[in-house]
Amino acid sequence: MRYRRLTPADWRTWRDIRLTALRSDPDAFGSTLAREQEYDEARWRELMAPRNGVKVIAVETSGSGAAEPVALVAGVPHEDDAETLYLYSMWVRPEFRRQGVGEAMVANVLAWAREHGWTRVELRVFRDNPVARRLYARLGFVGEGEVMDHPLS
């Protein structure tokens, strides 16, 4: 498995894996497949602009040598707190879950946040998602409600 931070030139890659995630697990996101299918190229490019944080994917190489994105996560500046990066859109294809991919994805965003001087990372996770909550707790996130924080020091 390879983990890659995307650049603005990778907007199609982000679009494709994001739409795949929305199609696969529609109840896991705050957006919808129908909404994001309507985004035009300019909107996808805007999402990839460096001022909008980091987008990370996991890529699995098949036996034929084809590279297939199998997970995504994003870290974007928090709308209400200039010191907080917001981790969102965490998704791993079902057949790659419980293999450490999610942990590596989140660790990649936390490393990027530290590299860029963020002091805190925040995320939202549904209370009825104990698997995700345990993952985030193992990685240092704390919180009893849907919002969990990770102070970076």
> What is the per-residue pLDDT across 10-42, written as a single tens digit (0 to 9) for each?
999 999 999 999 999 998 888 999 999 999 999
**CATH superfamily, domain at 2-151:** Gcn5-related N-acetyltransferase (GNAT) (3.40.630.30)
What are the structure tokens assigned to 64, written together? 């034929």
User: Above 90 in pLDDT, residue 124?
Assistant: no
In this prediction, residue 66 carries a pLDDT of 77
User: Above 90 in pLDDT, residue 129?
Assistant: no
**54-61 and 67-77: which strand pairing?**
antiparallel
Q: How far is CA 140 from CA 37, 71, 93, 149, in A?
A: 34, 21, 23, 8
For the chain, the 3-state helix, strand and coil shares in percent, each to the nearest 5, are: 40, 30, 30
| 22-31, 120-129, 144-153: segment of lowest average pLDDT | 144-153
Query: Phi/psi of residue 110, each to 5°?
Result: -60, -40
Q: Tell me the pLDDT tens digit for each residue of 69-116.
A: 999 999 999 888 788 999 999 999 999 999 999 999 999 999 999 999
